C-alpha cells in the first residue's frame, strides 16, 4: 500500500493507492465516527462496486445509505445534485454523516459539492474508480457542477477526509476512459517533471495494456505532483493554475460540443496540443517539443486536433467560451503555457494569434 499525503495543516489527508484496498477494514479506520454513511455512485459503477463498498462500510456505520445517479457529464447539473440532497434529507442524515463518492470525476465533483453545502459542511471521502479521477479530480478539493455556458463554474473548494485509489477498479474501465485518464497523466510531464514524461514515452504501450505495476507508478507520481502543487496553493491563487494545462481549450471543446460528447481527458489532450502550439508561436518552446507531446498523446489513443464547434466562426466561438473560463481576468483569457519543458506559466496572448492556433489545430 502506497500513501501520499496532502499537506494542508488541519485539513491534511492521505491518498491511499493499492490493489483491492477498498476491501480492507483498516483503510477506513481513521474516518470520523458517525451513525450513518451515504454512498453516492452512478448507474454504471453501482453494479460493479456498490455492494462491495457497502459491505465493508457496514462494519463501521450502523446505517449505510445510497444514492445512484445517472452516468455522464451531461448530468453534472443542479437537477442531479439535488438527488444527493434528497437522499440526505429523506434518510435524516445529520452533520456527522460521512459521504462517499464512488465513481469517476463527475460523481466525485458532485458529491464533494453536496458535502460542502449540506448543513454547511459534512465530511466526505473520495473513492475514485476511473484513472482520470484517481490522478486528478479526486485530489485537491475542487468540487463543482457545470453550467451550460461553462464547465465547473459553480462549486467550492472543499477537501475530503481521505482518498482511496483502488487500482483493481481500473480492470473494468472501458479503453476510451483509460485513454482519457492518460491525458491527465501526460500533462504532469510538461508542467513539472520531464523525467516522468520520458518514462511515459517509454511505457505508454504497457499502460494501455493495463500493466498493474506501471499503472501504480503512474498514479503515484501524478498524485505526488498534484499534492505538491495543492500543498502550496490550495485555492488556485497562483501556482495551482498550472494543473490546468490544456484545460482552457479543452473546456471550450466540452462546452461547445455539448457535455459528454468529448470525454474530459480527450478535451484536455487536444487542448494540450493547442496550448503547446501557442507556446511555440510565442517563442517559448521549439517545434520538437510540440511534436513529442503530440506524438505521445496520439500513442495514448487520444485526439490531437480540436473540434469544429462552430462552422461559421470556429475560432470566434472558442474565444467566446474561453472568456468564461475561471482563469480569465476582466475578459482577458489567460492560458497555461509551457515556458520551457517541465515548467509552466500563466500568460495571455493576442486574440489574433489564438485564432491562428485554433484554425491550424482543429479538424
Catalytic entry in 54, 65, 226, 334 = 226
Is 326 a residue of the active site?
no
Q: Does 226 participate in catalysis according to the annotation?
A: yes
List 66, 177, 234, 236, catalytic entry: 236
Which among 42, 146, 244, 314 is annotated as catalytic? 244
Residue 297 to residues 76, 226, 327, 337: CA-CA distances in angstroms? 27, 20, 24, 17
Report DSSP state, residue 158: -
Could you give phi then psi for residue 159, rounded to 5 degrees? Answer: -85, 140
The sheet carrying 124-128 orders its strands as 2-6, 13-18, 162-166, 124-128, 98-103, 36-42, 63-69
329 is catalytic: no
Task: State the catalytic residue, choosing from 54, 76, 187, 251.
Answer: 251
Pairing of strands 2-6, 13-18: antiparallel
Examine the residue annotation and report whether 247 is marked as an active-site residue of this protein: yes
> Is 244 annotated in the active site?
yes
Is-catalytic flag, 327? no
Active-site residue (options: 75, 264, 326, 327): 264
Q: Which of 73, 177, 184, 224 is catalytic?
A: 184
The question of whether 236 is a catalytic residue gets the answer: yes
From 240, 292, 294, 327, active-site residue? 240
CA dihedral for 128, 237, 353, 149, sign (positive or negative): positive
Q: In Å, what is the CA distance from 25 to each residue of 98, 164, 274?
A: 16, 12, 45
**Three cell numbers, residue 208:** 494501455
Active site residue 120: yes
Query: What is the per-residue DSSP string for 252-304?
Result: HHHHHH-TTSS-HHHHHHHHHHHHHHHHHHTTSS-HHHHHHHHHHHHHTT---
Is residue 331 exposed (0-12), middle (13-18) or buried (19+ Cβ within 10 Å)? Answer: exposed
H-helix or E-strand spanning residue 164: strand 162-166
Pick the catalytic residue from 54, 65, 142, 292: 142
Residue numbers annotated as active site = 120, 142, 184, 226, 236, 240, 244, 247, 251, 264
Amino acid at each position: 500500500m502506497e500513501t501520499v499525503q496532502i499537506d494542508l495543516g488541519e485539513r491534511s489527508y492521505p491518498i491511499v493507492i493499492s490493489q483491492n484496498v477498498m476491501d480492507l477494514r483498516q483503510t477506513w479506520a481513521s474516518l470520523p465516527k458517525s451513525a450513518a454513511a451515504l454512498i453516492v455512485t452512478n448507474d454504471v459503477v453501482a453494479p460493479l462496486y456498490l455492494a462491495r463498498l457497502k459491505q465493508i462500510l457496514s462494519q463501521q456505520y450502523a446505517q449505510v445509505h445510497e444514492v445512484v445517479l445517472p452516468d455522464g457529464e451531461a448530468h453534472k447539473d443542479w437537477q442531479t445534485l439535488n438527488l444527493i440532497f434528497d437522499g440526505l434529507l429523506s434518510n435524516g442524515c445529520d452533520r456527522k454523516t460521512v459521504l462517499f463518492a464512488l465513481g469517476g470525476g463527475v460523481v466525485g465533483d458532485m458529491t464533494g459539492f453536496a458535502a460542502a453545502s449540506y448543513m454547511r459542511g459534512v465530511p466526505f471521502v473520495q473513492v475514485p474508480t476511473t484513472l482520470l479521477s484517481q490522478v486528478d479530480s479526486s485530489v485537491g478539493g475542487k468540487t463543482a457542477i457545470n453550467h451550460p455556458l461553462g464547465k465547473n463554474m459553480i462549486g467550492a473548494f472543499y477537501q475530503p477526509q481521505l482518498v482511496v485509489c483502488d487500482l483493481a477498479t481500473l480492470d473494468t474501465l472501458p479503453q476510451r476512459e483509460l485513454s482519457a485518464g492518460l491525458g491527465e497523466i501526460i500533462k504532469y510531464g510538461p508542467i513539472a517533471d520531464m523525467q516522468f514524461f520520458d518514462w511515459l514515452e517509454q511505457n505508454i504501450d504497457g499502460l494501455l495494456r493495463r500493466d498493474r505495476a506501471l499503472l501504480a507508478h503512474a498514479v503515484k507520481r501524478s498524485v505526488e505532483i498534484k499534492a505538491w502543487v495543492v500543498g502550496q496553493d490550495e485555492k488556485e491563487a497562483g501556482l495551482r493554475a498550472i494543473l490546468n494545462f490544456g484545460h482552457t481549450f479543452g473546456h471550450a471543446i466540452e462546452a461547445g460540443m455539448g457535455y459528454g460528447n468529448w470525454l474530459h481527458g480527450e478535451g484536455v489532450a487536444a487542448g494540450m496540443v493547442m496550448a503547446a502550439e501557442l507556446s511555440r508561436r510565442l517563442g517559448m518552446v521549439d517545434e520538437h517539443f510540440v511534436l513529442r507531446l503530440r506524438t505521445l498523446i496520439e500513442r495514448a489513443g487520444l485526439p490531437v486536433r480540436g473540434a469544429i464547434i462552430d462552422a461559421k466562426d470556429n475560432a470566434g466561438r472558442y474565444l467566446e467560451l474561453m472568456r468564461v473560463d475561471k482563469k480569465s481576468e476582466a475578459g482577458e483569457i489567460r492560458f497555461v503555457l509551457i515556458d520551457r519543458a517541465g515548467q509552466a506559466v500563466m500568460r495571455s496572448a493576442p486574440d489574433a494569434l489564438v485564432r491562428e492556433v485554433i484554425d491550424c489545430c482543429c479538424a
